[in-house]
Amino acid sequence: MKSSNLGYPRIGEQREWKKALESFWAGELAENDLVKQMEQIRNRHLQKQQEKEIDLIPVNDFTFYDHMLDMAVMFGLVPKRYDYDGGPVSLATYFAMARGNESAVAGEMTKWFTTNYHYIVPEFGDRQPAVTENKPLLAYLAAKETLGLQGKPVIVGPYTFVKLSKGYAPDDFHKTIEQIVPLYKQVLQELELHGVEWVQIDEPAFVMETTDQDLQVIARVYQELSQALPHLKLMLQTYFEAVDWYQELVALPVQGIGLDFVQGVEKNLSNLKKHGFPKDKVLAAGIVDGRNIWRSSLEEKWQLVTSITESVSQDRLWLQPSSSLLHVPVTVERETDLVEEVKKTLAFADEKLGEVQLLVQGFRFGKYIISKQIAENEAALTQLQSSPARNRSEVKQALAELDKTTATRNVPFHERKGIQQEAWKLPLLPTTTIGSFPQTTEVRKARQQFKKGDWSPEQYESFIQEQIKEWIDIQEDIGLDVLVHGEFERTDMVEFFGEKLGGFLFTKNGWVQSYGSRCVKPPVIYGDVEFLAPMTVKESVYAKSLTEKPVKGMLTGPATILNWSFVRDDISRKEVCEQIALALRKEVEELEAAGIHMIQVDEPALREGLPLKPEDRKSYIDWAVSAFRIATSSVQPTTQIHTHMCYCEFHDFIDVISDLDADVISIETSRSHGELVSVFETCTYDKGIGLGVYDIHSPRVPAVGEMENMVTQALDVLPASQFWINPDCGLKTRGSRETILSLKNMVEATRAVRDRLSATSQ
Ligand SMILES: CN1c2c(nc(N)[nH]c2=O)NC[C@@H]1CNc1ccc(C(=O)N[C@@H](CCC(=O)N[C@@H](CCC(=O)N[C@@H](CCC(=O)O)C(=O)O)C(=O)O)C(=O)O)cc1
Ligand SMILES: N[C@@H](CCS)C(=O)O
Ligand SMILES: [Zn+2]
């Protein structure tokens, strides 16, 4: 039996990866120093895995931004809008594709399956693909040379790569895969030539719906690769669920199959029992959860592996995490402030690799070798289970009392619409923003000083008020119609609520990469969730006191808090989501009672939580939508509920969005505008809607004409009376100057469209 890993977090124990990148972008670090620092970080990660004696250590999981972008660049898929004419892609072009620059917009960014990681969507169509540089080979050679490591290069497989790309017609999906296969062959042959033993080919898209034709293409592709690679061993790695066509999968001509025995455990185990596993292949069994932060029950894992070994002999079995460890923080060791009772139950990337290794040792040398750890581990998990935080009777009782009326507004939308128009008297095409304004160094420093105790609560509060006042003035000056307070008091839209609700705990250093250099620190839901005190009322009320214009209150919705936290796994996600919804309902009521009658409840992660398997989706949608409605439905008909979503596919989701029964939704669309607008040609959406006209991921200031065009295009399919004008998402990551200029342009574009509309109606 061997131990293996699928991917290690890139960000470093103290986010040194992020800091190096951001220094480089700020012009404070030279390119060769960035490269040097990156190499050091990468080597440190590999060394750590060597020290843990992991047998199969991944290489090429490291990146300067995103592994899908790396694949696109390796295949020369550099859209024409960037300055590039063949050969290796410069770092400047690479980062332009990721972040945009003065002359070209960035590539579209979207969520990686059901995670909070975002990748840059590769674009076919502009150029003939060609290998520009064999990145996995470079990573392999570097690890060999510096650390004497025989690494296992990781690449995204052709089916998944093309599936997650764009720029080809849906009917050309198979043709596009076949077009890219020779490039895979070239990359893999070079790896073979340099003595690589195993390559991990990630095909997570295999767990999604596939057609018979897809299966034929997959079989052809892997046949072709295997014929071209007589010595290289391919580990075909799936994760995030089970593959529905197990028998075809294990018959593919590869040397190893990787299956997820956490998220897909029941199906994978039953397939294994029912159909067996080929005697000539290695099974890489993902047994330790790569997506959550709880220590595994070693006893349960022991039983699981024992059961697997009834179908696969130990010499053909690798134990590993269920997915890349990209989705969990680096190490629990730095969490010096956590209560010991909880800390003992947590496992981040390093500890998860420790669990894998421990189990492998147990199977190699006998269970008695690890019996002490098993006993300690069970005791810690049992202690947490019986803690008062997990057994709050008031929370359980409130849940038991939930009924349909809790989730229904007392006046339906078609009646609310007129009531609200009358109450709010907003201009045609109201302009607004999504909530956050720039979290400048000054804001983050102030919070740090407050957290360290250098600033009193009063000092910090008055600093936040100054920021709110400054930005209320700016918004008035720009001429926006609906204002926000700016979210300056928030570290992050989920972490902030986690800190204020009961049942959560938060880590000091539990960072996880979200996109590029941006990280989040997901709170941990370890107990029953409860409302303790108003969380956002003070800031919203203060903002409202400064202006005659409407001010939107700003909350994060239940599904998003759930999906962006690490969640206890002893009760269902539905139950946790309902607990959060009930707590938010109280906050909504507090806001309304304090005079805030426009309230936005953000749900950017609602779509992300959608199960990959179609048969599981309805139940998720039912409870996630119901949770939103529980949180928002007790308000007066005049109170306008907004919601917001970003970075996801909306095409098949409009009905769900409508069911939320929010009065207005704002969604991100600027990087894929035309595609989304076309959705509204065929569906009937009657609520207020703002399609983002300004890509907030780029420092670029969009021109007035550009945004005017986007609005005009949208108004071809949506009535102006329904339409709102807003950026794609919050502006916390942007600089103040570019934000103000962009918003001014946005308001000017709106005025131009309004003038045009009023001229044509006269
Ligand atoms: C909308 N998005 C979000 C997602 N998930 C979330 N949980 N939250 C989201 O908002 N998923 C989808 C998208 C992803 N988008 C983003 C956008 C921006 C960020 C981001 O800016 N992250 C910050 C960290 C934010 C934070 O908590 N900051 C702390 C400061 C922490 C810190 O760095 N402290 C420094 C010292 C302070 C200093 O000198 O600057 C330190 O510890 O060294 C705060 O505000 O107090 C980031 O920097 O990456 C993430 C996802
Ligand atoms: N209100 C949040 C939404 C982000 S998805 C913000 O503006 O940052
Ligand atoms: Zn957003």
Q: 349-403 pLDDT, tens per residue?
A: 999 999 999 999 999 999 999 999 999 999 999 999 999 999 999 999 999 998 8
User: Which range is least confidently modeled, 284-298, 440-454, 477-491, 645-659?
Assistant: 645-659
- Residue 275 within any structural domain of the chain: no
Going by alpha carbons, the residue nearest to atom 7 of ligand 2 is: 730
Percent above pLDDT 70 for the chain: 99
Sign, CA torsion 89/93/97/103: negative
Concerning whether 697 is annotated as a catalytic residue, the answer is yes
User: What domain count does the chain have?
Assistant: 1
Residue 668 assigned ligand-binding role = yes
Average pLDDT, the chain: 95
* Structural Rg of the chain based on CA atoms: 26
Return the pLDDT at 756.
96
Q: Report CA(626)–ligand 1 centroid distance (Å).
A: 29
* Per-residue pLDDT at 158 exceeds 80: yes
- Check: CB of residue 487 under 8 Å from CB of residue 561: no
CA 530 to each of CA 41, 169, 406, 500, 609: distance values in angstroms, whole numbers, following the listed order: 40, 48, 17, 9, 22
Output DSSP code: residue 688.
E
520 lines ligand 1 (CB under 6 A): yes
Q: Report CA(495)–ligand 2 centroid distance (Å).
A: 13
Q: What is the mean pLDDT of residues 99-117?
A: 91
C-alpha 138/C-alpha 136 separation (Å) is 5
Test site for ligand 1: of 16, 441, 444, most ligand atoms within 8 A of the Cβ: 444
* Per-residue pLDDT at 671 exceeds 70: no
CATH code (residue 596): 3.20.20.210
Residue 287 assigned ligand-binding role = no
Closest by Cα among 276, 279, 238, 231 to 257: 238
Q: Report CA(568)–ligand 2 centroid distance (Å).
A: 25
* 645 Cα nearest atom in ligand 2: 5
319 lines ligand 2 (CB under 6 A): no
Q: How far is CA 321 from the centre of its chain?
A: 19
Return the pLDDT at 675.
65
Q: What is the mean pLDDT of residues 493-505?
A: 96
Return the pLDDT at 15.
97
* Per-residue pLDDT at 463 exceeds 90: yes
C-alpha 517/C-alpha 10 separation (Å) is 10
Return the pLDDT at 673.
56
Q: Give the domain extent around 441.
A: 393-398+415-761
* Each residue's pLDDT tens digit, 165-185: 999 999 999 999 999 999 999
- Residue 456 within any structural domain of the chain: yes
- Check: CB of residue 532 under 8 Å from CB of residue 36: no
Return the pLDDT at 21.
98
User: Which range is least confidently modeled, 36-45, 148-157, 267-276, 664-673?
Assistant: 664-673
- Residue 612 within any structural domain of the chain: yes
* Each residue's pLDDT tens digit, 549-595: 999 999 999 999 999 999 999 999 999 999 999 999 999 999 999 99
Q: What is the mean pLDDT of residues 631-638?
A: 98
* 434 Cα nearest atom in ligand 2: 7
- Check: CB of residue 166 under 8 Å from CB of residue 121: yes
* Per-residue pLDDT at 672 exceeds 80: no
| Residue keyed to tokens 């008091």 | 489
Return the pLDDT at 699.
83
- Residue 513 within any structural domain of the chain: yes
Q: What is the mean pLDDT of residues 292-305?
A: 97
Whether the model clears a pTM of 0.90, i.e. scores above it, the answer is: yes
Q: What is the mean pLDDT of residues 271-299?
A: 97
Q: How confident is the model at residue 676 (pLDDT cuts 50, 70, 90)?
A: low
Phi, psi of 482 (to 5 degrees): -120, 125
Return the pLDDT at 670.
63
Going by alpha carbons, the residue nearest to atom 8 of ligand 2 is: 730
- Residue 248 within any structural domain of the chain: no
* 522 Cα nearest atom in ligand 1: 7
> Interface pTM (ipTM) of the complex?
0.95
Burial class (CB in 10 A: 0-12, 13-18, 19+), 683: exposed
C-alpha 102/C-alpha 677 separation (Å) is 26
Q: How confident is the model at residue 102 (pLDDT cuts 50, 70, 90)?
A: confident
- Residue 372 within any structural domain of the chain: no
Residue 351 assigned ligand-binding role = no
Ligand positioned closest to the Cα atom of 434: 2
Q: How many CA atoms lie within 13 A of 307 on its CB side?
A: 18
- Residue 118 within any structural domain of the chain: no
* 517 Cα nearest atom in ligand 1: 49
Q: Cβ atoms within 10 A of the Cβ of 676, count?
A: 20
Q: Which residue has the higher pLDDT, 679 or 612?
A: 612
* Per-residue pLDDT at 325 exceeds 70: yes
Q: What is the mean pLDDT of residues 655-683?
A: 81
Percent above pLDDT 90 for the chain: 91
* Per-residue pLDDT at 494 exceeds 60: yes
Residue 658 assigned ligand-binding role = no
CA 417 to each of CA 409, 487, 656: distance values in angstroms, whole numbers, following the listed order: 13, 28, 19
| Residue keyed to tokens 């003035």 | 473
Q: Report CA(118)–ligand 3 centroid distance (Å).
A: 13
C-alpha 2/C-alpha 11 separation (Å) is 26
Contacts of 194 (CB under 8 A, 6+ apart): 137, 140, 141
CA 362 to each of CA 5, 301, 371: distance values in angstroms, whole numbers, following the listed order: 18, 11, 9
Q: Cβ atoms within 10 A of the Cβ of 47, count?
A: 15
Going by alpha carbons, the residue nearest to atom 1 of ligand 2 is: 435
Q: What is the mean pLDDT of residues 212-229?
A: 98
CA 668 to each of CA 124, 275, 733: distance values in angstroms, whole numbers, following the listed order: 22, 45, 15
Ligand positioned closest to the Cα atom of 600: 2
C-alpha 303/C-alpha 644 separation (Å) is 44
- Residue 424 within any structural domain of the chain: yes
Q: End-to-end CA distance of the chain: give it in Å, rounded.
A: 79
Q: Which two tokens stand for residue 626?
A: 């119901």
C-alpha 629/C-alpha 404 separation (Å) is 10
* Each residue's pLDDT tens digit, 8-32: 999 999 999 999 999 999 999 999 9
Length of the chain: 762
DSSP string for 691-745: E--S-TTSS----HHHHHHHHHHHHTTS-GGGEEB--SS--TTS-HHHHHHHHHH
3-state secondary structure of 195: coil
Going by alpha carbons, the residue nearest to atom 4 of ligand 2 is: 730
C-alpha 283/C-alpha 563 separation (Å) is 30
Say what angle helices 67-74 and 135-147 make with each other, to 10 degrees: 110
Q: Report CA(22)–ligand 1 centroid distance (Å).
A: 13
Output DSSP code: residue 181.
H
